[in-house]
Amino acid sequence: MTRQERIAALKAAAKERVLILDGSWGVMIQKRGLAEADYRGERFKDAPGQLKGNNDLLCITRPDIIADLHDQYFAAGADISETNTFSATTIGQAEYGMEAAVRDINLQGARIAREVADRWTAKEPHKPRFVAGSIGPLPVMLSMSSDVNDPGARKVTFDQVYEAYSEQVRALHEGGVDMFLVETITDTLNCKAAIKAILDLEDEGYEPVPIWISGTITDRSGRTLSGQTVEAFWNSVRHAKPFAIGLNCALGADLMRPHIAELARVADTLVSAYPNAGLPNAMGEYDEEPHQTGHQLHEWAEHGLVNILGGCCGTTPDHIRHVAEAVKGMKPRQVPERPRAMRLAGLEPFELA
């Protein structure tokens, strides 16, 4: 299948059923008990500093592990699997001194996922598998000061963030992703830089691919870290005409539900949700059992709140299997038609009919 044929198949599938995204990558990699040598491989054996913990680097040094994880999630029922590129920007990789490896991480991450997805599609053509290029948050924010004594202080400029995302999205596109997933968004201005980087690809001659945007509500306040409500966040990014808008991370399904319901009310596109396996315990581990996650997300689908479901921190292939089984045969949320109006946002939404 060509990329455009895959995108058409993706959109057709979204009209028929609730699509399933994969689960956590961090928890599954952690279970492997990898050593420093696994992260270094031959290419980075003499690199200074510690590389252990830089999971994106495994796309280059341990592609077998990354391919196996894609396999496990597709076998569990996922329609979509993310590339292992969550922190693969020059800004994100600076902590490890791996800025020069960013293009290769994204290119290889996309190629690994593409190969596995295509293999599953060939085996089960009635259920094509898709690849989402994972574009995660940065360790710096454009919307908030880096110095409590200087409200205007920023560690980066918009142009620097834009360039970092541009390098990532070019490589992901060249590697064969079917969509871009800008995820775990805490800062809407960072997100806007990523959106611009994606949209500008068309001016460079790249064929267009769908954009999927997923924000993070950081606590019970119902706001992103940069202060926006769910509706204000949607108003800020809807100009990109995303394939899907959603929420992930930070919260378990019980605490995320009211915010997903609000997003389902206001968004005139597909709605996605991939919560954590509950909240972490005192040891930083997640105790929610797969059947519990499946039961809660079944209720969301039953009430017509979602089009795409998956898992974030603490979720495993077993969690995804239970979610897939729980919503099998259920109708996806119907996208509402909202009246024309001028909709703006600061921290709060503003609508003028």
Residues in binding site for Zn(2+): 249, 312-313
189: number of Cβ within 10 Å: 16
Query: 288, 287, 302, 298: which is closest to 333 by C-alpha?
Result: 302
Q: What's the CA gap between 305 and 260, in Å, rounded? A: 7
- Cβ(259)–Cβ(247) below 8 Å: yes
- Cβ(259)–Cβ(222) below 8 Å: yes
What b/e sequence results for 301-324 when a residue is b if at least 16 CB atoms lie within 10 Å of its CB, and e otherwise? beeebbbbbbbbbbbbbbbbbbbb
- Cβ(211)–Cβ(222) below 8 Å: no
Q: What's the CA gap between 101 and 96, in Å, rounded? A: 11
Query: 221, 241, 238: which is closest to 229 by C-alpha?
Result: 221
* Per-residue tokens: 304: 């017509």
**Binding-site residue set:** 249, 312-313
| CA distances in angstroms from 2 to 78, 100, 118, 130, listed in the order given | 21, 30, 11, 12
- Cβ(78)–Cβ(324) below 8 Å: yes
Q: What's the CA gap between 272 and 286, in Å, rounded? A: 21
